[in-house]
Amino acid sequence: MPLLESIASPADLKQLDRAALKELCAELRAFIIDSVSRTGGHLASNLGVVELSVALHSVFETPIDRIVWDVGHQTYAHKILTGRRERMHTLRQIDGLSGFPKREESEYDAFVAGHSSTSISAALGMAVAAKLKGEERRVVAVIGDGAMTAGMAFEALNNAGAMDANLLVILNDNDMSISANVGALNSYLTKLLSGRFYNAMRSRGERLLANLPPIYELAKRAEEHVKGMVTPGTLFEEFGFNYLGPIDGHDLDALIPALTNIRQLKGPQFLHVVTKKGKGYELAEANPCLYHGVGKFKIEVGLEAKAAGKPTYTEVFGRWLNDMAAADERLVAITPAMCEGSGMTEFTERFPERYFDVGIAEQHALTFAAGLACEGRKPVVAIYSTFLQRAYDQLIHDVALQNLPVMLAIDRAGLVGADGPTHAGAFDISFLRCIPNMLIATPSDENECRRLLTTAYRHDGPSAVRYPRGVGPGAPIETTLEALPVGKGSVRRISSDQNANKRIAIFAFGSVVAAALQVAESLDATLADMRFVKPIDRELIRELAQSHAALVTVEENVVMGGAGSAVAEVLAELGITLPMLHLGLPDRFVEHGDPAILLTRCGLDAAGIQASIVASVKKILPE
């Protein structure tokens, strides 16, 4: 029987010797490749942490000891080792395993980590809580895949270094190489520096010299100087951590002794390990970015070229960005570490001097854009809806308050499918429309997206264009850079019913317009593609309210505070009272799965919209 099949929990790892653990790592890596090839998911990052996952669960007493993974897309090995191997075929599928840690899913998942750079803060909280409760528990934060570029990670380091909490931070460094000689030397040094003898002598020396401040300071500087010659850890030492490493993160003979020693140490510890994304799968090693997040694929072939078809909204944005940059030299493009995902690859090649990847630092991205706008540039910030949440204060205080022309190209608006609630763009309409000076556009198809991007870019103030993941209805796309009138919607269908007391008007926003149009055809209703949430088309709302008996709003955003609320506010100001139905995402976090199934479950497909209208609106109107 393969070794992997004998592992039901981390306790089983502790029965294996080092040779068997190495064999297990090979089986685990092959299993991950096979599993992800069947379900899709994050591949390269997970292949890079196989040995680290095995070592952690071998040394620490999980789940009593806590492991907080950051970012959470590197937890597949962790899931497999903690009793979920037989459910991996359901990964990211409807009602299946999440692609990220999930507390409700397993006691081994200490913290949800779909957004990066939260692990040190969370782990510090857990370590302090253990101390307050008098519990002998170790807490580990595994941070990597760019997560250390965010300011929150350094805020946590700064706080943790001042506390006497038993916290281990592991930097999973998969962006730098490590030579064999340096790796061997640093493995030896890490074993030495993490050993009890060295740390006991260090502690005793500190106590002895504490009463002799000049000599103590000299000794401390001498130690830092010696360690600084062979390790890059001065920064982390300055934060108050005991820095160890770097070591080869694929070498169990280095990892296990180091972790075993560190587990006995008190106070904040920092271990630097170097890993290779895509380790063990040649295609992923050669192009870890391409194999970061994948769909289903054939292992022997790898990812095949995408067949030509309808462009995605992301591709529509990418083409528009290049065209607008060619037309306006003031344009600069900013991304918080999502170049490929936001469709900016070609832009980086054509306009490298006007492209800025600020790392996983959404707050900085917005204020950096504000500074550029102050000096006459026209910043376009390409950002996922879910990540924009992290820069809300900067959007209000640094951009909107000063009415600066910073444009947000908001990708992944609405439900995102397999990535689930940590990545869903369910709230942006609600949290954006309450901000003064904002323009918010919601395109309903590919061509409208291009034109609204131009409209927002030319707006003299902060603006946002939100568009969903994937493809649209397939509208022909113009190549010009024509804007649309700001704050004006479009009536796509007018009811033929001559009796105003029976007419229904549907106000649809963005991605749901196509489904709402089907419903309007079926029910002989009027349909307005509103295009803008702010400024909203007050005249169109007044006109349709006066000529219809009931109104329906539809959006792929939470109902509370969303676009439907904006329509209701206009009617209240106009003193118009009509039966209204607001359709949108429910007041709960929508789980992962196929987007079409999720929309059906939320009642936002054509059948669901029609059923809701028939059940709650048509029944109150005269036959």
- Give me the DSSP letters along 569-581: HHHHHHT----EE
Phi and psi at residue 282, in whole multiples of 5°? -55, -40
Which residue carries 């591709």 as its tokens?
315
Tokens of 73: 């897309």
Cα separation, 582 vs 609, whole angstroms: 10
CB within 8 Å of 522: residues ≥ 6 apart: 606, 610
Q: Which of 343, 432, 321, 340 is nearest to 385 (CA)?
A: 432
- Name the amino acid, one letter, at 275: T
CB 164 within 8 A of CB 242: no
Classified as helix, coil or strand, 271 is strand
Instruction: Report the sign of the C-alpha dihedral through residues 609, 615, 620, 623, in that order.
Output: positive
Cα separation, 288 vs 142, whole angstroms: 20
- Give me the DSSP letters along 400-425: ITTT--PEEEEES-B--GGGGGGT-B
CB within 8 Å of 446: residues ≥ 6 apart: 310, 311, 313, 316, 472, 473, 474, 475, 477
Cα separation, 588 vs 596, whole angstroms: 18
- Give me the DSSP letters along 355-396: EEE--S-HHHHHHHHHHHHHTT-EEEEEEEHHHHGGGHHHII
Phi and psi at residue 273, in whole multiples of 5°? -115, 145
Catalytic pick among 92, 277, 433, 451: 277
Cα separation, 615 vs 218, whole angstroms: 80
Cα separation, 450 vs 443, whole angstroms: 8
Cα separation, 588 vs 605, whole angstroms: 18
CB 493 within 8 A of CB 455: no
Peptide bond into 535 cis (omega under 30): yes
Q: Which of 587, 535, 542 is nearest to 563 (CA)?
A: 535
Say which DSSP state 84 is in: I
Is 223 noted as a catalytic residue in this protein?
no
Q: How many CB atoms lie within 10 A of CB 178?
A: 21
Is 362 noted as a catalytic residue in this protein?
yes
Catalytic pick among 84, 92, 354, 390: 390
CB crowding 51-68: b at 16 or more within 10 Å, else e: bbbbbbbbbbebbebbbb
Tokens of 493: 């269908």
Phi and psi at residue 471, in whole multiples of 5°? -95, 160
CB within 8 Å of 519: residues ≥ 6 apart: 506, 525, 606, 609, 610, 613
Catalytic pick among 237, 276, 279, 362: 362
Tokens of 295: 């769909």
Cα distances (angstroms) measured from residue 30 to each of 41, 77, 389, 489? 15, 11, 37, 53
Is 277 noted as a catalytic residue in this protein?
yes
Instruction: Report the sign of the C-alpha dihedral through residues 279, 281, 287, 293, in that order.
Output: negative
- Active site positions, annotated: 277, 362, 390
